[in-house]
Structure 1
């Protein structure tokens, strides 16, 4: 299995970041700097495509909230798309889905940016 990664593409007015791998306390040291760098680019609308996330624990949830907070502080909008069912349940159970906007697809999320 490949290690954790964040691959980005620019799509219209959005920056789409495809997050892959496990988001947990072990990969925190990989993901946190990548997300911080991603957010420092100055894009105004960022979609995190989580379709490649195979696992997420509380450290991963903390990373997502930290990224949202950093985006919000800089005046950017960060949303989630393609959230796997297990992670979607965690977002709902913790109430994080009330903070982070979640879209079924990247296309749905991009439509909001226009």
Structure 2
């Protein structure tokens, strides 16, 4: 996994990986800072995964140390796309700083969040 090293412009890297926990689900693991400078990477991956139309897409945020309004918008856009295409999208293990922002903005009341991928898949 890539560390959170600053790029030449001073932005922290965002590592976005995908997996397939079950045949009908996809996992997007996000590590680093999801902000204005990095959201495009998340958006590209989320669009590609959602285009596959799995039953469930999980977005794992335990390694995400920071999220700004741009990152929140990306999560909301992915959630809206999921709703429109009949895909269930849920968040998994948001880090403490991310969970705090999700709660402050009310997004935790809109997008379901679970402590583990297993809990999300069995909900």
Same fold (TM over 0.5): yes
Counterpart of 1:107 in 2: which secondary structure?
helix
Which of 6, 23, 27 is the matching residue for 2:16? 6
Hey, what's the Cα distance between the residues in 2 that align with 1:81 and 1:30? 19
**TM-score, structure 2 length as denominator?**
0.85
Kindly name which structure, 1 or 2, has the bigger radius of gyration based on alpha carbons.
2
Segments ≥4 residues shifted beyond 4 Å:
none
> What does 1:11-26 align with in structure 2 at a 5 Å threshold?
11-12=21-22, 13-26=24-37
Q: Deviations over 1:24-60 (max 9, x none)?
A: 0000222211211111111111111111212101111
Q: Does 1:38 align with 2:49?
A: yes
> What does 1:35-114 align with in structure 2 at a 5 Å threshold?
35-112=46-123
Counterpart of 2:99 in 1: which secondary structure?
helix
- The root-mean-square deviation of aligned C-alpha atoms, in Å, is 1.2
Hey, what's the Cα distance between the residues in 1 that align with 2:68 and 2:56? 25
Q: Which has the higher contact order (CA 8 A, sep 6+)?
A: 1
Structure 2 gaps of 5+ residues are 6-12
Aligned positions, number: 112
